[in-house]
Amino acid sequence: MWAMAHELLCDKIIALASVGSIRPDLFRIGDIAIPTDFIDFAYQRGTMTFWGNSDVGPFSGEKGRIHYTPCDHDDLLWRKKVAATLFPFKEGSHTVCLRDVSDTEPEIVYAQANGPRFESRAEVRMLQGHGHLVGMTCASEWTLAGELGVPYAIVAMVDNLGNGLDSGIDGNFMTEYQKHRNEHFHTTAAILDQIGRKARELLF
């Protein structure tokens, strides 16, 4: 993240993420969503932060000591621009679009689990009370981007239902995960192509 912001001079980020749905009533396999907030449950990793780095912070007298508010207004504006610019689009005979749950859900919460293992069934049941989608990396990335003042948006692709919520393929969570993960490689490539086509609109 540091290299992207300070060496490549990146001033906005779109992250493509593979996620599990812990709310299958709202998000099914194949759905695409842009989360609006996160909860970080990955405590065992320790805190990922640039705190203490002399190059971080808006005020010269407080460099290295910055308290910031995650998922801020700049992130909101960037999310809206990403959603409006990229979606929907045609990929062959298929229309790639965002799953719209705005009529019932004011926000879409990404829950970050510790990984690298998948969540246990009991953990999935716990997370259902807090979020909609589960992954292992994006909350940490979002935190670091926020500390650097770089707007961050996740394009999250659901390639599995949370452990214990499987759709019944041999009754095996890993079989289901691998089947749909392979299917979604094509969607990932299509979204990357769309980002390339819309790069100028996204940047200006």
CATH number of the domain residue 170 falls in: 3.40.50.1580
pLDDT tens per residue, range 15-38: 999 999 999 999 999 999 999 999
Q: What is the pLDDT of residue 35?
A: 98
Q: Is residue 100 one of the residues assigned to a domain?
A: yes
The number of helix segments (H) and strand segments (E) in the chain equals 6, 8
Q: For residue 81, give its domain range.
A: 2-62+70-198
Q: Read off the pTM.
A: 0.89
Residues in the chain: 204
Q: Are 90 and 197 in contact (CB under 8 A)?
A: no
Residue 164: its pLDDT value, please?
87
User: Which stretches of the chain are DSSP H helices?
Assistant: 2, 73-86, 121-127, 138-147, 173-197, 199-203
How many folded domains does the chain comprise? 1
User: Does residue 104 lie within any of the structural domains?
Assistant: yes
**Which run of H or E residues covers position 157?**
strand 152-161
User: Cα 162 to chain center, whole Å?
Assistant: 16
pLDDT under 50 in the chain at which residues? none
Residue carrying structure tokens 């999935």: 124
Residue 43 falls inside a structural domain:
yes
Question: Which tokens sit at 157?
Answer: 């692709």
* pLDDT for the residue numbered 194: 97
Looking at residue 188, its pLDDT comes to 93
**Under 8 Å between Cβ of 160 and 169:** no
Side-chain-side CA neighbours of 92 within 13 Å: the count stands at 5
Flag whether 204 is in a domain.
no
Is 30 part of any domain? yes
Domain assignment present for residue 203? The answer is no
